[in-house]
Structure 1
Amino acid sequence: MATSYTSSIGICKKVWLLSVFLTSGWATLFVSQAALGQAAPNIPFDIEFAGVTVHLTQNNQLKVKEEVEKLYAKRSVVTSYVYSIQQLAPLLNPLLRASNIPPDFIHVAPIFPDVNSVGYWGTSLSKGHQLKLTSNGQIDERLHPLVCTQAALRDIDYWHRIRKNYVASLLDYLNINGDSSVPDRLSAYYIMPNAQSSSLFWKVIARKLVFDHEMATNQKPAQYILYEYKNGGGKTLQDIAQQLQVSAQQVITYNTWLRTSRIPTQTPYPVIVQLTPSEFTYALSGERQLSAKQTNQLTDIGFPIVKKSTEKGEGLRSAATYYSINGYRGIQAQNCDNVITLSFLGKLSVNTFLKYNDLTATSVISPGTIYYLEPKAKRAKVPFHIVQNDQSLRSISAMYGVKIKSLQKFNHVKATQRLQTGRVLWLQRKRPTGKAFEYIQQVDTENNQSAPEESTPEKVDLPTQSVDDSTTIITELSDETRLSYKPLNTNETNTAALSPESELDPDDTIVEETPKDPMLYHCVVAGETYHAIARQHAVTVQQLYSWNNRTASSPLKTGDMLLIQKQSPTPSKADSSGKPSTDVVRLSDIDSSQYLFHHTVKPGQTLYRIALIHKVAVKDLMNWNHLSNYTIEVGQQLIIRK
């Protein structure tokens, strides 16, 4: 009897202890981990995010665990998230780097499927309004990955300049209720989030843990690469799918921002398309031809000459896709590739691969791009190239298979120099000493009009000038030049010289620009987008891009000065959030004690010559205009203060 009583007491005690255990948080952690087995990552107390140690209390650890469980409830959900990051990272990472935002923030970008009515970067309708994103019957910019990213990064950068802690900046960004969820005492490298932190924050932390865990277990790369289709104005998504010869779903997935049948023409929103590597190569070539046709550009749209190779890798190299690019051996980058993997797949040392492609050890590899596995030529197979929007020396070098050093030598430019759209680059020999820079005026044949103009052209005499500072604007090429603009015989050697008739005529029209409209500069503040600035000044976004040589994918930083060629309304006062009002610099607003005006760079002028004309120091001229070197372009607007 005593034994039975003692046993009963022991059983009751065990049941009581078990009930206490099951109702505690530790039981939840234990049972959840057992249910998930080895599939899910462990949840540590300290997690590194954006260079900051995030310390989790037991309750916060449970919140992260709950979000991890939601992701692993279906294996397809985890796979879908990993693939979305692999696809978005190459598209958004350049914007993150330009804004000095750590790459871990990429986990904030994808849409949260279990949260209703939010876009990219967790943007609710109220948050989108705060970020000045357009949401109407035609478009919802919260659902455009590029436009929304630009607006979100400016807001995060605004908060980081206040908090000096990236996780605290994220907490402030995600919090739209006005109640601070950031601890009062804050270190730059440590934070312990409190109970008021946004529920989206725990989802972001869970996303990072899951992604890192999955990538460490040899997750296969995503099937698709994201491609920016930039000629979509006036078209339907179905039109683009047919042109690129892809399924409609590949175009629809990342373009739910479009609420009408056709893409707006006034605002050139890029269309994000999912493409396989082989489709990517076809699309890149096809859109280049379409762009050249629409703007009547004299550019050889046959380059690069790309052909899929019959070369097959063995063993670890079996997944590689090899190409012939301009007659040289090449390899196409896939999602998650870097210079090390491509060097291995190409059977080259890392340094040799970098040399062949004019890259550095920190260069970012772009999925879908074909990289060279053999040295490029010293000369191209065509004599000239007309610079298009967003082209750099490196992209032109890859396009024609010619070394960057040759392009620098032929055109007297530096590797990091910004190239002005329409400039004629010499690809086979040096531009003769004393010969002016050549520019081709682009014409939009689709709308039967020239590209947006900032000036009224007039014919002037060509001054005596040095090689580095001379400039010529060419509105039309002579028939002789057009006939000579063709590829050289591929059987000829690369040392073949240009025939005299293939040179551009130095007596072509030279344009001196005189502004039509009142000019002002808009100083970008945190949270602004190109679209918001355009609306504020009653101009189109395309005009804003054209006046400032930018595109939709060009980063917009706080403090940037944007040229406006149209009189704007009076700038608004500071808003209720306490953020500074938009700073518009107008000629009429300048204090007479420091008069400000603009100088339009004319052919043959240098910074030194302009400084002499206005009796100012060259150093001041560079500071006023944020110039890092002495390079200026014809038509460029320089601020002069006196």
Structure 2
Amino acid sequence: MKSRLFLLILFLFNPFWAQSLLAQIPQVPAVVEFADLTVKITPQAQREIQLDVDAQYRNPTYFKVKQERVNLYMPIVERELRNQGVPEDLKYLVIQESGLIPDAVSTSNAVGFWQFKQGTAEEVGLRVDAQIDERKSIAASSRGAAVYLKKHNSQLNNWMTALVSYQMGLGGAKAYFGSQYTGKKIIEVDRNTHWYFKKYLAHKIAYENQISVFVSNQRLAEVQVQGPVTMAALAKRFGVSEDHLKEFNKWAANGKVPAGSYTLYYVKGGELPMEPAVTKSEEKPKSTQTYSASNKNSPAYKQANSFPKISGNTTKANQPNQITVNELDGVQAAKTTSPSKFSEEIGLKEKKFLKLNDMEEGERIETGKYYYTEKKKTSAEVETHVVQPGETLWMISQKYGIRLSSLKSKNRIRRDAELKPGMVLNLREPRKRGEQIPFIPVTQPVQQNRTVTATTETKRVETISKPVEEPSVRSQPERITHTVSSGETLFAISRKYGVSVAEVKSWNNIGSQNIITIGQKLVIFKP
């Protein structure tokens, strides 16, 4: 425990360490070798993937923590993939799926390192019952994932499509890709390539040169133990704490190993790797509270710039039944119009359309924006969202496909006037009564006594007069409306105003495909 605190303190108070990490951010190349494929990446796709790579490095402390987990678990992942004849390149998928958190749970109730639902886990030979959940065992779940991917590749005959099938299933992948990639060894990644594969490439590029870099002397030991036996008894045998064994053996329910032979994991030497910053400590006063990603109720604060996630036939995104938005049926507005005309065009009744999108009568449909044609979810895919300048509750709810009422109730916020830049909103777990909403610094300068007048183009922006209590408030950014013209890209627009592509996407609720259309009006907060 003392060594964990020492490492954390050493890092936090060594800015040169953080700067050196930021200087090492890998750049997305034009060509990548993946499994047995050669992947050619277009310049536009390079920029899109680079945003996700940069996001991995944005918080140096969190990156080092994640890197520590990668170096503990990856040798086992590589071994299990290799034993099943699956290319080791697919090991980066486990980072994408769970961040190597053993008890990670998705909104669709997928669990563990490789995010298996119970039915699928049992199909690949994993045990899931009241005593054992092998989805939380790094070796067993990696073996199951390898079996699953190998089976799909045998039918798809392409490791890229097999990888995407991990997200959409074998039937979904067959329907989505058809036979266009069957047997192909050279593929091109562009703006229309499925977001899941581009997200994978970002994780591969971010971590492939970091394995075995900045590793403590810790390693994950594997020993066979015979049950029934308690973790308390095993802790004494191996010279570690009971909490330590429970942390690395969450596959065993209730801290007990049942009858039979099982693989037990512990860090050699008895030291836990650093937990993700920021960590929660009950010994500190509320005013300085921090949070731990290992705690179910505490989020890892990482801005999600890949939302909304757009997939499907994006060339016909403005037609119904062509795309999904955050895995929900949706459509993109081709022009600014009224809800009545738009709902008629897509074959929905106006009242139903307004209800699905948490909109009110009289609001406008905006060019390039995404709208849902089926009911939004009560929780988002990610844990949290960091509020950016100019955002409203409705914008955030649309970005993640979460119902506006759910977003408000989870955070005990009712009005846009209560939002402040840097505020960390819960998207999955409800905030406890009396719990303070945490803040983190945002790159865009925040505004004090900000007043934005609503127009017909942005009905959801309300007047905010409540002062922001953030320290070091700088000068107010200028709010500009930019109309997209022919040939413009997000990169060119961001360069024009001196902001990042990620910021433009966040301010305008632009999805992972980076789609903008001629005539679309973009909100820019120019420094």
Under TM normalisation by the shorter chain, which class is it? 0.3 to 0.5
Larger Rg: 1
Structure ranking higher on relative contact order (CA contacts 8 Å, 6+ apart): 2
Q: Given the two structures, how large is their TM-score scaled by the length of structure 1? A: 0.34
Q: Given the two structures, how large is their TM-score scaled by the length of structure 2? A: 0.40
